[in-house]
Amino acid sequence: MSLATAPGKIILFGEHAVVYGRPALAVPVTQVQANVEVVDSAEAETWIEAPDISLHTTFSALAPTHPLRSAIESVCAALNIAPFPPLRITIHSSIPVASGLGSGAAVSVALIRALASYFQRPLPADKVNALAYEIEKLHHGTPSGIDNTVISYAKPVYFVRQSPSPDGRGAGGEGQVFNVARPFSLVIADTGIAAPTKESVGDVRKLWEADKAHWEVVFDQVGEIVRAAKNAIETGATDSLGALMDANHALLQQMTVSSPELDRLVLAAKTSGALGAKLSGGGRGGNMLALVKPAAADSVASALKSAGAKSTLITIIQ
Ligand code: PMV
């Protein structure tokens, strides 16, 4: 029997500008997790159970491009295990799906680790990351690679994408893991509004195409914020992250990717004691985050609920 877990992730700074080659920072969110258990099975074939999404299926019934099938096949190929014995694979996840918290990448990483440990051949994080990136492509087409990197290393990552893809989204990138000198607390709140990242990315592209000179300056400003934030996290000057969040949110508003709901939550966080707040990820809906002193976390979370958040979670980045 073997068990593995992987955290969620959230983008701290730099979303959207990252599509244009500027850096972004993302951190693991350990309060939500994907868990995968792999055990021997007496059945004739491998069964996969994911009760949270009502999935109960055999391996062979999965479509050839299904991310779970691909994860199992790629681990077995990487370990030279063929054919693999009948298994029972059980997947649980408390990471909300399609909300920018990296649920797909976390399931992939936990599944890869659980299988590798079941076969008593644990894989190094860079190998797990490379396998998970291939599976991300099945989920997202052209992922930036930020989710699988943060989740595989379970560490903050400073990420720069490598080369543009025709639709302007990620085409892989370079993730640099870095350390947190002093832990800091975040409250993450979900607007409950599903907003496709593809649309907000497309709208920013239209703005950029109409006035490249202007938007390049804005993206440069985001890049400066991201570099300053990384420096603050590495040196323990975490209180200064609040002002950097506010500045990044203002630039995201200019990019038209905020929304009345997100702005209402950002304002509620600030007026209830947060040191700074911003939307996170694609925007227009999805999540926002607020930097808080640990003692203020509960009251900021309840202010966010009163201001319309569907759910909140408090996490410590360390
Ligand atoms: O919502 P998330 O966490 O998947 O982040 C989207 C980030 C963008 O910069 C808006 C798009 C991208 O591909 O980097």
Measured from the CB, is residue 15 less than 6 Å from ligand 1? yes
- pLDDT for position 24: 97
Q: Is 52 marked active-site? A: no
Model confidence at 164: pLDDT above 70: no
Poorest-confidence range of 50-54, 162-166, 198-202, 270-274?
162-166
Neighbours of 102 (CB within 10 A): 29
Pocket test for ligand 1, best of 10, 11, 95 (most atoms within 8 A of CB): 11
Q: Which of 10, 12, 13, 15 to mutate to test the pocket of ligand 1 (most atoms within 8 A of CB)?
A: 15
Q: Is the pLDDT of residue 71 over 60?
A: yes
Confidence band for 137, pLDDT divided at 50, 70 and 90: confident
pLDDT above 70 covers what percent of the chain? 96
Residue 166 pLDDT exceeds 80: no
Sequential DSSP letters for the chain:
-EEEEEEEEEEEE-TTGGGGT--EEEEEEEEEEEEEEEEE-SSSS-EEEEGGGTEEEEGGGS-TT-HHHHHHHHHHHHTT--SPPPEEEEEEE-SPTTSSS-HHHHHHHHHHHHHHHHTT-PPPHHHHHHHHHHHHHHHHSS--SHHHHHHHHTS-EEEEE-S--TTSS---EEEEE---SS-EEEEEEE------HHHHHHHHHHHHHH-HHHHHHHHHHHHHHHHHHHHHHHHT-GGGHHHHHHHHHHHHHHTT---HHHHHHHHHHHHTT-SEEEEETT-SSSEEEEEE-GGGHHHHHHHHHHTT-SEEEEEEE-
pLDDT at position 142 over 80: no
Residues 6+ apart with CB under 8 A from 118: 1, 2, 38, 87
Quick one: which atom of ligand 1 is closest to the CA of 170? 13
Average pLDDT of 165-191? Answer: 80
Q: How confident is the model at residue 172 (pLDDT cuts 50, 70, 90)?
A: low
Cα-to-centroid distance, 226 and ligand 1 (Å): 15
Distance CA 124, CA 136 (A): 18
pLDDT at 96: 87
At 100 the pLDDT is: 85
The domains found in the chain, sorted by start residue, are 2-177 (3.30.230.10), 184-317 (3.30.70.890)
What's the chain's average pLDDT? 93
Query: For residue 182, what are the contacts with CB-CB under 8 A and spacing of at least 6?
Result: 236, 238
Instruction: Give me the half-sphere count of Cα atoms (radius 13 Å) on the Cβ side of residue 26.
Output: 32
Of 105-119, 136-150, 167-181, 208-222, least confident by mean pLDDT is 167-181
Pick the catalytic residue: 126, 147, 190, 298? Answer: 147
CB count in 10 Å sphere of residue 127: 15
What are the pLDDT digits (tens) for 75-121? 999 999 989 999 999 999 999 887 889 999 999 999 999 999 999 99
Q: What is the dihedral of CA 10, 178, 182, 105, to 10 degrees?
A: 30
Lowest mean pLDDT among 145-154, 165-174, 288-297: 165-174
Confidence of residue 144 (pLDDT cuts 50, 70, 90): confident
| Whether pTM exceeds 0.75 | yes
